[in-house]
Amino acid sequence: MGILETHRVAVVGASGYTGQELLRFLLVHPGIELTAVTSRQEAGRSLAEAFPRFAAAPRARDLQFVEPDVGAISATGATIAFLALPHGVAHDYAGPLLEAGLRVIDLSADFRLRDADVYEEFYGHAHPAPEWLEEAVYGLPEIHRDRIVEARLVASPGCYPTSILLPLIPLLEDELVDAGSLVASSASGASGAGKKADPSLLFVEVNESFRAYGAPKHRHLSEIEQELNAAAGAPVRLTFVPHLLPLRAGIGTTIVADLNVTPEEARDRIPAVYGERYGEAPFVRILGEGAFGDTKHVAGTNFLDIGWAIDERAGRLLVFSAEDNLGKGAAGQAVQSFNLMTGLPETTGLPTL
């Protein structure tokens, strides 16, 4: 490994689970100098004090959380800012930071939809900063790599969308499955719900529990449809059902779709389709037919694993994906975009096993 160029980076809003995972990656990222890390809640404490896991990381001991202030962040010389803020809050910082000349990687949902009307339909209020929607790039590196490289504002995808889009987009583009027949059933570890004092997220409520929620119109459905529609070239018909799992992190998604081709043809073409699309993608692992994926094999990483099965009796394809909702589903993916934006090797700073 040669000498990497170092980029001055700020993280805005880093006290939640996504923020912590993002810091875990950034603190050891060889191409990053953290100049500011903000958190209203933790302001004044060092990263090491706020996150005991980081207690022995030199950068974590020296760096204190500060109040989020665009001018102060800009004054640190940061050229790129990660926003790990709640949905509906990120836009307050994204615009000013962009205007101050920084590039922004936003992990919230604020800029993921190109259409402000869809935003309003799913989020229940007018988009607060629609002027940035056109410029924002949906930060799925395997799909929008070229645009991410040039982007000023990357809207890093949600955890569920990533687990559905990466398996489905190549199949829709190649018309292997019927875009009018899509059913996606996902299940997520509890960190996906955030670090909030909600009694329904207490250990006693999640342990020994499995439950659907949010269906039929979970907010993430909007961005899933946006990207699938683009891949299919027409509106898809998708039902998406999320479930809550008694595990820390990990999303498993099972997609069922009618095959447009015979099982034999599917069996032949799917490996080629995935191979073509993801053969060079360092974070998508194609497990093959008959493999199901397992959240424990991707926990803590930026990988998304894909397997599938062909239901010959029903003429359907089953696709299985597994990712860490905090990794490829959030913080890892954002770092991957960062690497592309700065010209670093795509895997820089991300664990490879």
For 142, residues 6+ apart whose C-beta sits below 8 A from its C-beta are 166, 277, 278, 281, 283, 284
Residue 261: CB minimum distance to its own copies, A: 16
Residue 127: CB minimum distance to its own copies, A: 20
CA angle 252, 350, 173 (to 5 degrees): 50
Question: Which CB sits closer to its own copies, 189 or 329?
Answer: 189
Residue of 73, 81, 159, 165 marked catalytic:
159
Question: Which CB sits closer to its own copies, 134 or 207?
Answer: 207
Cα separation, 280 vs 216, whole angstroms: 35
Residue 208: CB minimum distance to its own copies, A: 5
Question: Which CB sits closer to its own copies, 40 or 296?
Answer: 296
Length of the chain, in residues: 353
159 catalytic residue (yes or no) = yes
Token pair recorded at residue 292? 């199901």
Amino acid identity at 107: L
Residue 136: CB minimum distance to its own copies, A: 24
Cβ-contact 231, 172 below 8 angstroms: yes
Residue 12: CB minimum distance to its own copies, A: 21
Q: Where are the alpha helices (DSSP H) in 11-64?
A: 17-26, 47-50, 58-62
Alpha-carbon torsion, ordered 89, 90, 93, 96, to 10 deg: -120
Helix (H) or strand (E) holding 239: strand 238-244
Q: For residue 229, how many other CB atoms are within 10 A of its CB?
A: 15
Question: Which CB sits closer to its own copies, 33 or 205?
Answer: 205
Question: Which CB sits closer to its own copies, 97 or 236?
Answer: 236
Catalytic residue IDs: 159
